[in-house]
Structure 1
Amino acid sequence: IGVLFGLLIFRMDFVILMTMIGIISLAGIVVNNAIVLIDYINLTIKRKRRALNLDASEKLTSPQLLECVVEGGKTRLRPVLLTAITTILGLLPLALGININFKTLVTELNPNFYIGGENVAFWGPMGWAIIYGLTFATFLTLVVVPILYYLINKIKTRRMNVAA
């Protein structure tokens, strides 16, 4: 979704091959961030249950669950943001087509630094796809995933209470 929004907003071409490779790369990064966040929220819930001496059949109350979700989100905020920011900054030279000729840098001490060129037409769409998608997905990971986690667990708890 973020890739499509970014390409549409900035009126960039959707290059089938390289944009799709960028989307596939993006999927791995985003899924990893969400898995780590959910895993840490589960860890905080286990710690809270242990601290309250709850049995396996007993569930946390809604405020306790919310506290665990917020704590997990706060704890994982910095690592998720750092991953996104470093990836985006690392891809900017690729997306912008920043070139340095390392051969002439070493031999003649002249880097022949320039922006653009032929390689940006090939690698640029992949870089921009990952940048746009990661920007949008980081927001989803940090905001939407914890909210959905809380709501789904709250619904499960209600169903268990109704069934009991």
Structure 2
Amino acid sequence: MHKRLKQSLLVGGAVATVGLAGLGSVGLASAATASKDPQAGLIDTLVSKFNLNRDEVQKVFDAEHQARQAEREAEQAERLKTLVTDGKLTQTQADKITAKAKELQTEREANRDTMKDKTNEERKAAMEAARDEIEQWLSDNDIPEEYGRLVFGGGHGRGPGGPGGPPPKKSSEE
């Protein structure tokens, strides 16, 4: 009886070890896939849960992403138009902001994978360098720093400076 209990425990332990190893490798595979595309995990879940064609689901996600990007660009254009109409920016400054924002978006997309491989300190240093570069660009183009959030693509009304942008600078009058 004692020998049979030992065998059962040994077999149970082996099964548990194999099961955990299997779960770990699934998690690693999922993490590897998700690192390239943050939506990949959700797409894979939908595909398996509802027995869908992965390419079709990916097309839906891509179309939604493009639609949201177009909405953000339209909101940005409207915001800049209002600033020009109100005399806070010139049309030339607004055009430069639009061009710089697109340039930075392209750079972010190109650098997305390399930034993931950096440490938190390296990412923070890169972001600070980018912020310094933008502040210099704003100065070179005679654009008030308060509109820097528009270059970063932030300023959507969710907190100081908008998401992804630098915090607003305090003036000496405050």
**Common fold, TM-score beyond 0.5?**
no
- For the pair shown, the structure with the greater C-alpha radius of gyration is 2
Work out which structure has the larger RCO, using CA pairs closer than 8 Å and 6 or more positions apart in sequence: 1
Specify which structure has the higher proportion of helix. Answer: 1
